[in-house]
Amino acid sequence: MAKRVLKTLLRGAFLTAALPLAAAAGFGRWASPYTVFAHLCALAPGTLGDYLRIAFYRLTLTECSLSSRISFGSFFAHSEAKLGPNVYIGSYCVIRRIRWPSPNLQARGLPVGGQSTRRGCPNRRLEAASSPRTSGDRAAYR
């Protein structure tokens, strides 16, 4: 009970903190400021950074659930993306225009829906399920 209340308070505090960034980005309508603030939020460390990222994307993406989690170094390159509830995005993912409604889907260190600029990181799309590892109802793409 106390954990749920604390999470709700943290989400509210970070929505308030992300509001000026989202407003400066036109709530996702202005591409250049959106990109700058998406990169800035991607660099926020730790659990508090996860709360900042999800709050920023809640205010700027077409659809984003506060129950999802976006880890350090990951960002959405375009605000037209949709992120459903209970989605975990691991570190260092670059995500383009995608509709991610599936709960409990995980992605770690791969570009989803776009070109990679890093060497050795192949261009894979989430929709083209390239050998997912499954554990119950979870699918991990590595």
- Rg (Cα) of the chain, in Å, rounded? 15
Where would I find the H helices in 29-141?
A: 31-42, 46-60
Cα 76 to its chain centre, rounded Å, is: 6
Tell me whether residue 85 is in a domain.
yes
The confidence score (pLDDT) of residue 101 equals: 61
- 13-28 pLDDT, tens digit per residue, is 999 999 999 999 999 9
Question: Using an 8 Å Cβ cutoff, are 117 and 107 in contact?
Answer: no
Residue 111: both structure tokens together: 């570009």
Q: Determine the pLDDT at residue 84.
A: 87
What does each of the 142 residues of the chain score in pLDDT, given as a tens digit?
899 999 999 999 999 999 999 999 999 999 999 999 999 999 999 999 999 999 999 999 999 999 999 999 999 999 998 888 888 899 999 988 877 665 555 555 545 554 444 433 443 434 333 333 333 334 444 3
Domain that holds residue 130: 7-141
The sign of the CA dihedral 35, 38, 42, 43 is: positive
pLDDT for residue 8? 94
55: in domain: yes
Is-above-0.85 flag for pTM? Answer: no
H-state helical runs in 61-131? none
- What single letter denotes the amino acid at residue 19? L
Residue 1 lies in a domain: no
CA pair distance 54, 142, nearest whole angstrom: 22
pLDDT at 140: 42
Q: What is the number of structural domains in the chain?
A: 1
Average pLDDT, the chain: 78
What pLDDT does residue 35 have? 96
* 2 is a domain residue: no
